[in-house]
Amino acid sequence: MNRISIALTILVVVGGCTLGTPKTSREYKTAKRYDSQNSDLDERPLVIPESQSVVNSNSGSGQETRSLSKSNLDSNWQHSDMGGMAYGDENSMHGIRTYPSYEEWKPITPPRDQTTEEYQHTAENDYKDPHREALSTFSIDVDTASYSNMRRYLSGNQLPPRDAVRVEELVNYFSYDYPIPQDNAPFSRTMDVAECPWNPNHWLVQIGIQGFKVPQQQMPPSNLVFLLDVSGSMSSAKKLPLLKTAMGLLTQQLRPEDTISIVVYAGSAGLVLPPTSGRNKDRILRAMSQLQAGGSTNGGQGIQLAYQIATDNFIPNGVNRVILATDGDFNVGISNSNDLQRLIETKRQSNIFLTVLGMGMGNLKDATMEQLANKGNGTYHYIDTLSEARKVLIHELGSTLFTIAKDVKIQVEFNPAYVGNYRLLGYENRLLAAEDFNDDRKDAGEIGAGHTVTAFYEIVPRNADFRPRVDPLKYQRKRPVPQYNYSNEILTLKIRYKAPKSDTSKLLTSVLRTPVKQINETSPSFRFATAVAAFGMILRDSQYKNNASMELVRSLAMSSLGEDYYGYRREFVDLVNIADTLLKMSR
């Protein structure tokens, strides 16, 4: 297998830095190195004092277990290293999780009226009549930021804003046990259909995609350019200090053939670490340790420098990527979202992709960062804890950095002999026109190595008790589908994708047939993904949630925990319990 090189450019803005017009890595202006001992900023990680933690007496710590009877939270789990929830700790893959006691369980997220966070409003997908709209077309989405941002709110004893909850990102936060690819395609396709748990008169269709997996040591060389926001808004413990720790974890995974660069931006942009081999870990860590926050945010200037470095150090047949870490608060320079998007769109044509890491709270610009990642052929993640950083940059490094298919589009044709109406759950900001499916000029989402992608349709069976939202047409009649041709076909799935360096798409086709299963006959992957989708609808207070309840979510999730090696699914159950309590308190 070809080796992939990943270019990481880290942009950090520091006072006194100016942007030049470099041609080679040696010509970049090196940013002033700050002495962290002279910094007035408190960069200590946010940790939970031992007196506020509940530790299992079997953990070997010698600490005594305290009761959490009032909190209704599982005392066998421990609070994560950076203030969030995570399975395990630094010393044990299968550790325990503790929580603050009930009396000490206080919000860590600022009240909404004290923040400037921005979330784009999206109206939920409505039911469609296949006689009028037989085709449903959308781009895949493997972003996970909405889930970890939701977790940050719930961990802070607050319900997330409705527009911060994107159902597809909650579902796709988790990996599922789909078959590995067996043909020459870079991913497998799986479909299943069962009775809908929150509306037994409806059906629920699951579409699953599994990308092929590549062991880290077999990945091509990486040319990674970290573009770091070091403006004043990044000074809190959950932002730059957490980012520096996360990057330290990634540094330990670098191989000699990998290179990493660090660009910083604030009022101006500068190069803190020129392209450096992964064998020089001490040098990389020293550069990271000297970063500190201050000044306004000139993200546009930093992005320009990061892409220039990635271009100058481009590795053919490798992984070349800019990793932008910011709270999204671009307030000087190229601060217009459209201008930034156009800049990034022009750079993706050279096969240098963009990953966006959202940080912190209070002024998170969620919509801006999601759009930048979309335009840069990359993904958007929100880093709320060190455990999440470990998930994105260590456990799932291949899927984060190594793209195996780009511009992946899904189109579903429904058979009106079975389908009276259908509704796509989530993907509201990924919808495409039917004609976009065959248009190779139309941008769509990317799949990384090992990625799983899941989508759900809720289907109203033909002749079911359902009140149409549109009056019957006067001049057109519904034409029945010949039963002898498609007697057991519910829908046809078509997927178009491009190889990472190709401009021409390939087509894959599959058919979903009857029978319709009972929910308890489905796979654990089906049931757990269904639980997460129902949870998202409840948090959004969806008009389509029908009989969805936290009890139903818990039941589905607990029946499908599986191996859960890193504890992500059990953590989800914890979040369900917290959200259930908050919803009851809000009534």
The amino acid present at 325, given as its one-letter code, is A
**Cis preceding-peptide flag for 500 (omega within 30 of 0):** no
pLDDT band at 104 (very low <50, low <70, confident <90, very high): very low
Q: Give pLDDT, residue 153.
A: 95
Q: Give pLDDT, residue 79.
A: 35
pLDDT band at 59 (very low <50, low <70, confident <90, very high): very low
Q: Give pLDDT, residue 479.
A: 63
Cβ neighbour number for residue 471 with a 10 Å cutoff: 6
Q: How does DSSP classify residue 333? A: S
Q: Give pLDDT, residue 483.
A: 56
How far does CA 366 lie from the centroid of its chain?
12
- DSSP conformation letters of 95-144: --B----TTT----S--GGG---B----PPPPPB-TTT--EEEEE-----
pLDDT band at 327 (very low <50, low <70, confident <90, very high): confident
Angle CA(531)–CA(536)–CA(539) in degrees, nearest 5? 125
Q: Please report, for residues 5, 252, 253, 255, the alpha-carbon distance to residue 218 in angstroms, rounded to integers and kept in the order given.
A: 11, 17, 13, 11
Residue 363 has pLDDT above 90, yes or no: no
Residue 540, SS3? Answer: coil
Predicted TM-score (pTM) of the model is: 0.79
CB 282 within 8 A of CB 252: no
Identify the residue with better confidence: 258 or 587. 258
How many helices (DSSP H) and strands (DSSP E) are in the chain? 13, 16
Q: Give pLDDT, residue 336.
A: 61
Residue 299 has pLDDT above 80, yes or no: no
Q: Give pLDDT, residue 229.
A: 87
87: tokens are 């399975």
CA dist., res. 254 & res. 449, Å (int)? 17
238: tokens are 């959950």
CA dist., res. 130 & res. 474, Å (int)? 17
CB 457 within 8 A of CB 529: no
Residue 408 has pLDDT above 90, yes or no: yes
Q: Give pLDDT, residue 44.
A: 30
Q: How does DSSP classify residue 85? A: B
Residue 396 has pLDDT above 50, yes or no: yes
Q: What share of the chain is helix, strand, coil (3-state, %, to 5)?
A: 30, 25, 50
Please tell me the least confidently modeled range out of 134-148, 227-241, 531-545: 227-241
Q: Give pLDDT, residue 268.
A: 67
Residue 410 has pLDDT above 60, yes or no: yes
Size of the chain, expressed as the number of residues it contains: 587
Buried b (16+ CB within 10 A) or exposed e, 8-47: bbbbbbbeebebeebeebeebeebeebeeeeeebebeebe
Task: Give mean pLDDT, residues 536-559.
Answer: 97
Q: Give pLDDT, residue 112.
A: 58
182: tokens are 């067996």
How far does CA 375 lie from the centroid of its chain?
15
Q: Give pLDDT, residue 342.
A: 79
Residue 414: how many CA atoms within 13 Å on its side-chain side? 26
CA dist., res. 156 & res. 308, Å (int)? 39
Cβ neighbour number for residue 196 with a 10 Å cutoff: 23
CB 352 within 8 A of CB 322: yes
Percent of the chain past pLDDT 90, that is, above it, reads 56
- Where helices occur in 226-280 by DSSP H, the ranges are 240-253
Q: What is the pLDDT of residues 242-298, one digit of tens each?
A: 999 999 999 999 999 999 999 998 766 789 999 999 999 999 999 999 888 876 655
Q: What is the pLDDT of residues 5-57, one digit of tens each?
A: 434 343 333 343 333 333 333 344 333 333 333 333 333 332 323 333 333 33
Task: Give mean pLDDT, residues 409-435.
Answer: 96
Domains and CATH numbers, the chain: 7-40+219-402 (3.40.50.410), 51-107 (no CATH), 135-142+155-214+404-464+486-586 (2.60.40.1230)
Q: Give pLDDT, residue 474.
A: 76
Strands 380-383 and 353-359: parallel
pLDDT band at 418 (very low <50, low <70, confident <90, very high): very high
CA dist., res. 272 & res. 76, Å (int)? 43
- DSSP conformation letters of 417-456: TTEEEEEEES-GGGB--GGGTT-TTS--EEEETT-EEEEE
CA dist., res. 196 & res. 127, Å (int)? 15
Q: Give pLDDT, residue 470.
A: 73
Q: Which residues on adjacent β-strands are paired with residue 489?
A: 513
Q: Give pLDDT, residue 485.
A: 62
Who contacts 446 (Cβ-Cβ below 8 Å, separation ≥6)? Answer: 142, 353, 377, 378, 379, 403, 405, 406, 407, 408
Percent of the chain past pLDDT 70, that is, above it, reads 75
CA dist., res. 83 & res. 446, Å (int)? 31
